[in-house]
Amino acid sequence: MAYEQITVSHEGPVAWITLNRADRLNALTATMSGELERAFTDAGEDEQVRCIVLTGEGRGFCAGQDLTEFEAAYRAGGRPDIAEHLRTSYHRMIPVVVETPKPVIAAINGVAAGAGLSLALACDLRVASDEARFTQAFVKIGLIPDSGGSYLLPRAVGYPKALELSITGDLIDAKTAVDLGLVSRVVAAASFRDDVTALAGQLASMPTLAIAATKALLQRSATLSLDEALTQEAIAQAAMGQTHDHVEGVNAFAEKREPRFEGR
Ligand code: LHQ
């Protein structure tokens, strides 16, 4: 599949999706959003892929919406239909990332701003380089957190910090981000690629179907009663009980050896 603004490469069972507009800090365009939607759909459906890494080319992760897409219209006195833009780009792409039935690592190599931060929050794990920075940039241009930012950020860091970050637009460093729980770990820029590769390899060797079902259960849990959650757990566990990886895990335990999971 040919892409213009992202690249996709495969290293064994790991698919690397890289935002590829380094001179714009990988700011998002409608084209890039469509390409991400396609790449995540494909990786989600590809049985060979058992972990996905999303990262950025160059010194940025993603600077959010490419503001130059709207600049000409504003300068000419126009008012683009932002809701239509959201519906046809972010509202299609973000749910695909969230619901991808594979573990997704945001490998945050540099600055993540606005919709770029929302995109990182749509991933399952966030690993930041110690050179990464984060900003809910929306308020600085008179906007509200979109592309899932109003939903995902409070779930990551809690309402008070989410609100503070969203109404100040403050740029925070990776250390602050890990202290807040915005990212799960920070690694040195020098070993960033190797550390992410190791984590991706670890996740790719896990029972992929159980990870997919776990994601779906946890994502739905906030809107369920305990009774409903227990019902959903039983349905999912019954399905997992039928998998090769469940049998392999139990056998490996009994035989005191490492399991060889196959993602089926
Ligand atoms: C950029 C961008 C960018 C274009 C850096 N666009 N060129 C919004 C509107 C409408 C509809 C729907 O949704 C949204 C959602 C959003 O995402 S709103 C938030 C949009 N993003 C921002 O407001 C962030 C703007 N960027 C920044 O504040 C800074 O660039 C950050 C803090 C990200 C990084 O700062 P620096 O490390 O100092 O880099 P820089 O500012 O020098 O940027 C490098 C280049 O990238 C520069 O171009 P140049 O030609 O001067 O080298 C920037 O113009 C360009 N760039 N962000 N979003």
At 1 the pLDDT is 73
Q: How far is CA 106 from CA 18, 156, 234, in A?
A: 10, 14, 30
Q: What is the pLDDT, as a whole number, of residue 41? A: 98
Distance, CA 229 to ligand 1 centroid (Å)? 41
CA 160 to chain centre: 22
Q: Radius of gyration over alpha carbons of the chain, in Å?
A: 19
Q: How many residues does the chain have?
A: 264
Residues 6+ apart with CB under 8 A from 222: 155
At residue 63, the 3 state secondary structure works out as coil
Count CA atoms within 13 Å of residue 73 on its CB side: 9
**DSSP H stretches of helix in the chain:** 30-45, 68-75, 82-88, 90-98, 115-122, 149-157, 159-168, 174-180, 192-204, 208-221, 226-241, 244-254
In this structure, the residues whose C-beta lies within 6 A of any atom of ligand 1 are: 24-25, 27, 63-68, 70, 82, 85-86, 111, 113-115, 135, 137-138, 141, 143, 146, 171
Which positions ≥6 away from 50 have C-beta within 8 Å? 13, 14, 102, 103, 203, 204, 205, 206, 208, 263
Positions annotated as catalytic residues are 91, 146
Question: pLDDT tens digits for the chain (264 residues)?
Answer: 799 999 999 999 999 999 999 999 999 999 999 999 999 999 999 999 999 999 999 999 999 999 999 988 999 999 999 999 999 999 999 999 999 999 999 999 999 999 999 999 999 999 999 999 999 999 999 999 999 999 999 999 999 999 999 999 999 999 999 999 999 999 999 999 999 999 999 999 999 999 999 999 999 999 999 999 999 999 999 999 999 999 999 999 999 999 999 999
The residue whose C-alpha atom lies closest to atom 52 belonging to ligand 1 is 23
Report yes or no: 5 and 34 within 8 Å, Cβ to Cβ.
no
| pLDDT at 47 (0 to 100) | 96
pLDDT at res. 244: 98
